[in-house]
Amino acid sequence: MIQENITLVEQKIADACREAGRKCQEVSLIAVSKTKPVSLLQEAYDAGARDFGENKVQELLDKIPQLPKDIRWHLIGHLQRNKVKSIVGKTALIHSVDSLRLAEEISRESVKQQVETDILIEVNVAEEESKFGVSISDAQALVEQIAVLPGVHIQGLMTVAPNVENAEENRIIFRKLKELSVDIAKKNIDNVNMNVLSMGMTGDYAVAVQEGATCVRVGTGIFGQRDYTKRQSEQFQAAERHGI
Ligand SMILES: *Cc1c(COP(=O)(O)O)cnc(C)c1O
């Protein structure tokens, strides 16, 4: 099942690349495995997946030791400053940096632990109130402030587009993120790369690839629907067992 899903997603990525005149090696597929058990991640690994995305620090830390060492782990969810200490050195890429204070914490911990941390700047292109990310108009200033920090390296931009019925509605969002990355790249800021454009999820990754995504984050399209109700009731039961 997972193997077939991955093959299908890869085919659609290849089609989108062809339509846009891009090479499909330019696009990497991140299997978003949040809430899924390690047995399913192993299945995806066996089908060839090497990039996995998680949105919670603790879940990521729990999964790492249970899976092969050559997996590249992506933190794609909001990161709290008090969790930075435990995540630094564990990720290939942190996609969700949207403030100077967070970047400073990542820098401080990276220097302390003598690692180099690659990050993306999360941009709230659609300016949705419910979403994290810096606005387009504030993005460049933030990039410039973060660029001078030791131990952290900006590799590009990321956005979470709105949840829409028709993926075409998000084309403008992806186009704007691409334009922003081109604008920032033109400034040739020291210690800043704009090589990575992380955009597109199950509902809209083909459009994102047509608009220049180098990294698509696909969960449902690989692992199926996430069952939050079951998860919540498990957590509730665990909390009850612990008397909290
Ligand atoms: C969950 C999640 C995804 C994957 O969403 P699907 O619609 O299941 O593909 C992608 N990016 C982020 C930031 C996510 O939290």
Counting from 1 in the atom list of ligand 1, the atom nearest the Cα of 220 is 8
Residue nearest to atom 4 of ligand 1 (CA): 219
Query: pLDDT per position in the chain (244 positions), as tens?
Result: 999 999 999 999 999 999 999 999 999 999 999 999 999 999 999 999 999 999 999 999 999 999 999 999 999 999 999 999 999 999 999 999 999 999 999 999 999 999 999 999 999 999 999 999 999 999 999 999 999 999 999 999 999 999 999 999 999 999 999 999 999 999 999 999 999 999 999 999 999 999 999 999 999 999 999 987 765 555 544 444 444 4
Q: Are 42 and 63 in contact (CB under 8 A)?
A: no
* Per-residue tokens: 214: 């180098």
Residue with tokens 């949105």: 55
User: 192 CA distance to ligand 1 centroid (A)?
Assistant: 26
User: 78 CA distance to ligand 1 centroid (A)?
Assistant: 12
Q: Per-residue pLDDT tens for 21-75?
A: 999 999 999 999 999 999 999 999 999 999 999 999 999 999 999 999 999 999 9
* Per-residue tokens: 89: 């050195």
User: 241 CA distance to ligand 1 centroid (A)?
Assistant: 31
User: 30 CA distance to ligand 1 centroid (A)?
Assistant: 10
Residues at CB less than 6 angstroms from ligand 1:
32, 34, 55, 76-77, 160, 201-203, 217-221
Q: Are 21 and 211 in contact (CB under 8 A)?
A: no
Which of 197, 217, 222 for a ligand 1 pocket mutation test, highest count of atoms within 8 Å of Cβ? 217
Q: Are 136 and 121 in contact (CB under 8 A)?
A: no
- Residue 53 backbone class (left: φ over 0; alpha: ψ -120 to 50; beta: rest): beta
Which of 201, 202, 223, 225 for a ligand 1 pocket mutation test, highest count of atoms within 8 Å of Cβ? 201
pTM over 0.75: yes
Q: Which residues contact residue 169 at a Cβ distance below 8 angstroms, ignoring those fewer than 6 apart?
A: 162
Give me the amino acid identity at 122.
Answer: E
Counting from 1 in the atom list of ligand 1, the atom nearest the Cα of 202 is 9
Counting from 1 in the atom list of ligand 1, the atom nearest the Cα of 158 is 13
Residue nearest to atom 5 of ligand 1 (CA): 219
Counting from 1 in the atom list of ligand 1, the atom nearest the Cα of 95 is 13
